[in-house]
Amino acid sequence: MKKLLLLGFFILAYSFYPAITTAQIPYQQGDQGQDVVIIQQKLSKLGLFDGNFDGKFGPKTTNAVKIFQKNNNLVTDGIVGEETFRALLEPTSEISRGNSRNNVSKIINYSMKFIGVPYVFGGTSPNGFDCSGYVQYVFAKNGIILPRTADIQFTQGKLVSKNDLTPGDLVYFTTYAPGASHVGIYIGDNKFINAQSSKGVAIANLSNYYWASRYFGAKRILI
């Protein structure tokens, strides 16, 4: 039965990654082959792997896998077992369960419940949030799983222009680090809600000079 289930999964995975030819799980340091190339390509697309797609599961690939596992609340062992392989090869729209614009009002309303919650670096709960921990928590409670950090969250969803923002889109800013290092949830009327280091969870305006000058881009997670 287990082999049949695995076969079914790999048939589905094949439709997205036709180069996959075997099911030699687990994959770990020292392994080689085309399947490892696919793993490296997927990690690269997520911004986690910057090496060559050489099909050699070395230390750099292991480290990238560990980061992916940590971001997705998986066992952080650097080994691509069944659970990690499934999560890694699923397309973004499948990873984000409950992915529908019908969830917009629920997400916005739920996000408002935490206004005033203090900012805590690394915080992922109502006891204290950082920016990406807050977004991840709000979306997760509405059935949509996002990676842990703002830069990796930015790899998800569809890129949208600032003029086309709609409620529920994620807006990103360059703050303490280059690229997407801060994130909030757009709520309409040129406003977004986010966890700020100075105010905790609060509503901010995109027209404010601080945010306007640091705007990086936006992604649409809710299709």
Q: Give the number of other Cβ atoms within 10 Å of residue 139's Cβ.
A: 25
Q: Decide if 131 is catalytic.
A: yes
What is the C-alpha separation between 174 and 176, in angstroms, rounded? 7
Q: Decide if 71 is catalytic.
A: no
Q: Catalytic pick from 71, 99, 142, 182?
A: 182
Residue 116: alpha-carbon gap to chain centroid:
25
Q: Catalytic pick from 99, 194, 205, 208?
A: 194
Q: Catalytic pick from 131, 142, 190, 208?
A: 131
Give the Å distances, CA to CA, from 81 to 58, 89, 197, 219: 16, 12, 37, 30
Q: Give the number of other Cβ atoms within 10 Å of residue 113's Cβ.
A: 12
- Alpha-helical (H) ranges within 90-194 are 92-95, 104-112, 131-140, 150-153
- Alpha-helical (H) ranges within 28-146 are 34-45, 59-71, 82-89, 92-95, 104-112, 131-140
Q: Decide if 194 is catalytic.
A: yes
Active site residues: 131, 182, 194
